[in-house]
Structure formats: structure tokens, C-alpha cells
Structure 1
């Protein structure tokens, strides 16, 4: 088992470092070619008449971009309006106050920066054009609502939007050609998304192949409990079972799962619950980053609280099972009978407190996945839902301590009670012992 854990850790770190290196190299490249945004002083934004949005392109010259890329918008009359502002101090127009609009939705805090672009002029000669503003397609806390609306209009792979600029809290300035407005195609499933998806799948497959046994009960492997009635009392008698290996039916199952081991410890509900939320939050983090390109504003406080509740539950279960103390360590309750039956039952069968914990975990997990797919953001759970999850975990821990467990004695060395119950009782003596003077002679 420890060899599998070390192998899984080494492979995971290697794959993770490789993909992170590629991602951060792309991040450094994207950030190096962009201007440093210099926000204008907080003043009233007013757009001079005559400004019109004419064209939008990405840094690569195409209209195909992904979230996190930089785009450039050509505003007709921008250079003249800026020069007029410099000459006339009473004019308060500053192009750095303009924000980006997509399909009429304002992306708050996504301000523009004036840039100079070389465009083909007469005789195919390059000329300087300073009527351009550069924007970064990033999702901030203020612009998240607008992005959620745009993502809800997306098809399977991309979003087609009309780009514009304007003052904050106002309307976008008109376009120069209403028949053919400046459009962008924002690709959601870019190379960055596929790279992160490969990493998530690799981690899950490696865990299933080499480390799925870590989800099992930490009891003594090979020592299990058997119920027997001895002397009118129901006792848990330890017995041993040999760990056998069995070939799986298909080669695909053999490749991903390895050989099947019989008589293993049952799966643990608390450890499986912790693994569920760990992989769910880890996978959501990488998928959101793969689409949006933002790796700083993904994790929420509520997701960390959920992970903390399940970590405490797993830790409390290990204390109940006596793990870490060989004298108090308990054998497994029974042999594994399948994942779902294991996590829902103890030696007496299915328990309601386990079922309650299971259904609430599934319900909140489905809601978590739905919000990630819909809004590309981890949900903000309210205090009531988190309190409910905490009550469910506390109920499970409280009743978990009342469940029956196996004993640590080896089955070859039975207890004193077993010896006394197996030995026949001495026969009853009808005649009194000789020499007893207390009984008179007849």
C-alpha cells in the first residue's frame, strides 16, 4: 500500500509540475505583451460626440480569442478627442475611463488603455494609428454578473459577442456600421482547458489505479468480526480471512483497476466523503482556470469550510476507530461487500445516520457541480446550508461511536469466556462428601 502511495505521489507531482510549467509560461507570455493599465483619476466620465466603435481584434490579429486574452478596440475619433482634451483643459474626457461592453453588458473594472497599432495604409505601407484601446478579457468580482449572463447564452464551445466601449454605468457608444458591428468569438474550450482536463483525469485515474485502498476502513486488515451467541449473549468474535486476488473480467478493468482483491476492509464513509470534496474542489478549480484563465479568484470561503468540515469528520472517525494506538485499534467490522453498501452500513446493516450523510453530500455536491458548469464559479453557500452540513457531520460522528466494532485479539487465541463456555460443567453431586459431621446419620 505504501509503495502505491509513493508511486501515485511521484507520478502526480511529475504531471502537475509539467502542466503548471506550461500554464505559467503561457501566463507570463500573455502578461508580458500587455500594457500596464494606468487608471485615470476618479472624475466624471463624459464621451465627446462623434466617437464610434469601428473594429475589434485580438493581439494575434484575429477575432478568435479566449478568456484572459487581450483585445484591441478601434474607436473612430479617439485620437482627435484625446488631443482636444490636452489642448483644452476644460474638457474632462480621459480614454482610460472607458470600460469594455460585450453585447451591451458592462464589464466593470475592465478599463481600456490607449495603444498604438501599425495598420496598412496607402500602397500597403504601415502607418501609425492611435485610435485604439486595449482591454483584457478578465472576470473580476464586479464583472462576474455580466459574465454569468454571457456564459448562459453560450453554445457548447464559444460565445459570439458584439464588442463596444463606453463610460461606466452608462450605455456603450454607437458602432460605426450597425449592419456589420465589431464582433468577437470567445472560445471556452481552448488548449488551456484541455490541458487542465487532462490533468484532472490523470489524477483521478492514477488514484483509482493505485490508491483507492486509502478509502477503506483503517482497521486491522485480515481480522474481521463475526457475530455469535455464546452463553446467551451476542458477542463479536474475531476471525481471519486470507486476502485473495482475482482476475477481472475485462482487460480495460484490469488496466485501470488492477487485479481484484477479495476479503478487503470495507470502504469508509468519512474518508470517501473527504476524497469526494477534495477531488470536486480540485477539479472545479482547474476547469474554471482552464476556461477563464484566472487562478486568483476561484476558491471561495464556503468551499474551504466544506472541505474543513469533512476533514474534521474523517479525523474524528479515525479517533473513534482507535487508529494510531495499536492497543486500542479495532479490527474491521466486516469484509467489504461493495462500495455503496460499505459506506451505508456497519456490521448490523444499513444505518439511517449514514444514509442521511450520504444523501446530503450528494445533494450539495450536485448543486456545487451545477453552479460551476452554469457560472464557471464555485457557489457561495449560505450559513444555513453550511450549518446543515455541520449538523449532519456531527450526527454521523456521534452515532458512529455507538456502532459495534471488532476486537483486536487473534482468532487463534480465544478469550477466557470462550474457554469457559466450551468446557463442560462438572456433574452434579447427589451424595454429600464423606466426613461431614454437620449432617446427622439416619
Structure 2
């Protein structure tokens, strides 16, 4: 019964306003005569609406389809202003004093250094702004603006809210018949480029490791950690540069931080070679000295066999053993050990896997993954924070410091 009462009450309340409205409408229609505006008044109202003006994006091919509002690098975006909006913008542009340059905004981000132009029609009642979508890698403001836009989106076809600003005035939002999109390249091309670059990196590195001696130490025949790291970063940066150039058609700017990273890896590889050569030179000098001492003892033994004491004999035996050990360390081909594999040799200091070598390998791989992710996300070579570069430098210096006493 309670639910029935609620339903009946609701039905009455729903019907009552309709009945009341019908009665009111009938009374009003009887009491108030219908007035039709004269033709001149209708035309004046339409003219007044048109004078308010608009600010809108002019689509490609007259903007008939959604695809006409999808733009990519190397294309021009035209924005049209009419009526009062055009006159207001014209007044702002003609003001003196502060900078009155106009600029484009994507999602509130000022797109700096875009080549632009402006045309006016109908005695200034219509303005047409033109912006050429270009990312200039040589200009920091241009790089940062596009990086912010690209990294703020999860997709490669990005919906964008467009605005236009003049000087320090608040920017105006630009309308669009269909949603406005910016895209770098088809997702399939980007996926193919990233996958192909990674595949090329793995294959090239595999061939360098297994088919050449470029990463091996010349004297010992073992794989060098310094050379391996230098080759890794050299291939990474080269492939990123070529991949971005293929996809965007621009020669990407290589940030200073990446150059420092290449310098750290190159200096590590060079220092490792110099330390190895220094140790070899010291060992050779020591062998020469020991052989001279050995020869002096042998000469003494030949000249005075009876006076050659047991201490001299023991010293001669010790010298011969040291010479043999040092000759083995100098890389006598007949005494070299067989290769134990790339990963084990770059992590081994002669006494097994060492932490100072392992941390260099780990941080190199981590930064490599960050590098690949940043390139794929923003289509630009990333600028590493200074703290990461300092960490990489400390790690490499630790490795070089512990390399000096290594076998």
C-alpha cells in the first residue's frame, strides 16, 4: 500500500504541472497577441550577431571532414578572426611599447619560435594568422615547448586545445569545427622505428662482441669494460639521431648532457687502456731488471762455482720463478686462458665478479633503458639530470681506481 501511494502521488505531481502549463498557455495565447518582427529588425539582429565575430581554425580542404583538422610537422595551421574579435586583435597588434608579437598556444604551452605570418581582409574586419609547425632543435625554447606537449600525452595522435596570444594579454581560445589534433607520425611507423633500432642495436653489438676484437684488450685478449661501455653509448646515440631524423625530418639536437655522457664513457675506455699499458710497461721493466739480476747471478756461478752459496742458489731460483710469472701476466699467447664469455669478463677483476665493475654495468643498462623510453616518448634525445651524470662519473672513477691493482 505504501508503494502504491507513492506511485499515485508521483503520478499526480507529474500531471499537475502539465495541466497547469496547458491552462496557462491557453490563457496567455488568448490574452497576448503574437507579434512578428519586421524584416528590417530581423536583418539588423543577424548583422549584430555577425559583428560579434569568431576566432576559429581553418581546416585543410575547407574543413569538411575530421581529417582536415589533424596536423603534423611541416604543415601550416591557419586561424581566422572575424568581426569584433578581429578588430580587437588588430588594436592590440597596433599598440606600441611592449612587445605585441602574436604566438600560438597548445594546451596553454607557448609554442616559441614558430614561423608565422598575418594577413588582413575587409579593411581589417577579418584577420588570418598562419603558423608553420616546426620543432627547431637548435633553439632551446622550441625544443622545450614541443617536449612538454609530446610528453604530456600518452598517444602519438594528440588532441590539443589551441589558443592565440598577443604580447602579455590573456590568450584567446580558438574554436574548431572538429577536434584539433597534432601527430608526429603514424603509430605503426614509430613502433617500427623503435623496434628496428633496438633490433639493430642488439645485432650490431652481438656481431661486434662475437665477430671482432674491437672490444677486447689488445694485450690480454679479454673483453674491456671501458671499451664495451663506450661502444654501447655510441651506438645508442647514433641510432636515436637517425631514427628521429627519419620520423620527423629534422636533425635532432644532441644535448650537452649526452655529450658529457659520451665523454665519460670515452674517457673511461681510454683510461682503462692507459692503466693497462702502464701496468704492462711496469711489468716489462721489472722483468728486464729481474733478468739482469738473474744473468749476474749466473755469471757469478760460472766464474766461481765453489764460492756460489746456497743463498745465491735460492735467490736465483726465486728470480726465475718471478720472471716466469710476470711473463705469463704480460700475455704470452701460449699461456693465455680461454675466453670465459663477454659478461663474465667485463665483470671479473681477476678474482671473480667484482662489485665496482658490476655497478658500472648495472647503471649503464638502467640509463640505457631511460634513454630509449625518453626517445620513444618525446621523439627527442633526452637531457639527463646532472645528478645522474655525477653518479655515472663516480661509478666509472671507482672502477678505474680499483682497476689499478687488478691482476
Distance 2:89 2:56 in 1: 19
Q: In the superposition, relative to structure 1, how do residues 195 and 135 fare at CA in structure 2: closer, same or farther (>3 Å)? A: farther
Write out per-residue CA displacement over residues 382-415 of structure 1, whole angstroms, 9 at most, x where no aligned residue: 44433332222222122223222xxxxxxxxxxx
1:165 corresponds to which residue? Answer: 164
TM superposition shift of 1:343: 1.3
Is 1:135 aligned with 2:131? yes
Q: Is the 8 A contact 1:196 1:287 kept in 2?
A: yes
More strand by share: 1
1:184 corresponds to which residue? Answer: 181
TM superposition shift of 1:54: 1.8
Is 1:101 aligned with 2:105? yes
Q: In the superposition, relative to structure 1, how do residues 172 and 268 fare at CA in structure 2: closer, same or farther (>3 Å)? A: same
Unpaired stretches in structure 2, ≥5 consecutive residues: 1-50, 285-329
TM superposition shift of 1:311: 0.7
TM superposition shift of 1:307: 0.5
Aligned 1:42-441 pairs, distance under 5 A: 52-57=54-59, 62-77=68-83, 81=87, 97-110=101-114, 112-114=116-118, 131-139=127-135, 140-175=139-174, 180=177, 183-189=180-186, 200=197, 204=201, 207-208=204-205, 210-212=207-209, 213-219=212-218, 265-295=221-251, 298-322=253-277, 330=331, 334-404=337-407
TM superposition shift of 1:379: 3.5
Q: Is the 8 A contact 1:106 1:143 kept in 2?
A: no
Distance 1:372 1:146 in 2: 16
Q: In the superposition, relative to structure 1, how do residues 350 and 59 fare at CA in structure 2: closer, same or farther (>3 Å)? A: farther
Q: Please, which moves more after superposition, 192-201 or 68-77?
A: 192-201
More helix by share: 2
Distance 2:337 2:62 in 1: 62
Distance 1:104 1:64 in 2: 19
Q: Is the 8 A contact 2:53 2:85 kept in 1?
A: no
Q: Is the 8 A contact 2:54 2:85 kept in 1?
A: no
Q: In the superposition, relative to structure 1, how do residues 55 and 208 fare at CA in structure 2: closer, same or farther (>3 Å)? A: same
Distance 1:342 1:145 in 2: 41
Q: Is the 8 A contact 1:59 1:71 kept in 2?
A: no
Q: In the superposition, relative to structure 1, how do residues 363 and 138 fare at CA in structure 2: closer, same or farther (>3 Å)? A: same
Q: Is the 8 A contact 1:219 1:330 kept in 2?
A: no
Distance 2:173 2:108 in 1: 11
Q: In the superposition, relative to structure 1, how do residues 362 and 171 fare at CA in structure 2: closer, same or farther (>3 Å)? A: same
Q: Is the 8 A contact 1:58 1:70 kept in 2?
A: no
Q: Is the 8 A contact 2:349 2:403 kept in 1?
A: no
2:290 corresponds to which residue? Answer: none
- Size of the aligned set, in residue pairs, is 296
Unpaired stretches in structure 1, ≥5 consecutive residues: 1-48, 118-128, 225-264, 405-442
Distance 2:402 2:133 in 1: 51
Aligned 1:25-40 pairs, distance under 5 A: none
Distance 1:135 1:111 in 2: 6
Query: What SS does the corresponding residue of 1:109 show, helix, strand or coil?
Result: coil
Q: Is the 8 A contact 2:120 2:127 kept in 1?
A: yes
Larger radius of gyration: 2
